[in-house]
Amino acid sequence: MATKTNTPQNSDSSKSTAKTSKTRAAKAARPAAAAVLIHGQPAYNETAGEAYMGPAQKAHFRAILEAWKHELMEEVDRTLHYMQDESANLPDPVDRASQEEEFSLELRTRDRERKLIRKIDETLKSIEEDDYGYCMTCGEKIGIRRLEARPTATLCIDCKTLAEIKEKQLQG
């Protein structure tokens, strides 16, 4: 009767079994897609045969965009109150310079957020006009998961990749 020895083949198969077990455990530990929150909204669960950008999907993305906009507006208010409360005429030039730099950074951040709020408003308008969810370049579906990752996306992943490649080539 032949006995099994610990050959490289047997060792590899036990490693792959252990790796498979770890992969299964990691997948089981992950939260379900519905548990993932996007600006306070659960991830969208598509149903079989559901039309792309139907009323339910539009409502889902409208809720995400409005919640995101609300978060940004709250941050603007917080910054305004912070700057009003903290703006003191500090006698020490180093403290004053530090405060001015801090305010400058806050204002740059708020300016970027102001532009994002404008983009969110444009996206909400595109939902109302039934243009949301389709690539501006090729007209293909952008996709639910991409839109959840970037709700203001206007290009499908292929067109966005091409645009980034062209941009890199133009820069040098």
Give the CATH number of the domain where residue 119 resides. 1.20.120.910
Does residue 6 lie within any of the structural domains?
A: no
Decide if 120 is inside a domain: yes
Question: Is 71 contained in some domain?
Answer: yes
Distance of CA 137 to the CA centre of its chain: 21
Q: Give the pTM.
A: 0.71
Per-residue pLDDT at 87? 74
Q: Is the pLDDT of residue 19 over 60?
A: no
Question: Comparing 85 with 94, which gets the higher pLDDT?
Answer: 94
Give Cα 28 to chain centroid, integer Å: 24
Residue 150 forms part of a structural domain: yes
Whether 28 is covered by a domain: the verdict is no
Query: How far apart are alpha carbons 68 and 124 in whole angstroms?
Result: 12
By residue range, what is the domain housing residue 101? 37-42+49-171
In a domain, 8, yes or no: no
* Residues 131-152: b if buried by 16+ CB within 10 A, e if exposed: ebbbbeeeeeebebebbbeebb
If one counts the domains in the chain, the total is 1
75 part of a folded domain: yes
Q: What is d(CA 167, CA 163) in angstroms, rounded to the nearest whole number?
A: 6
pLDDT at position 35, please? 59
Tell me what pLDDT residue 134 has: 97
Query: Is residue 4 domain-resident?
Result: no
pLDDT of residue 14: 46
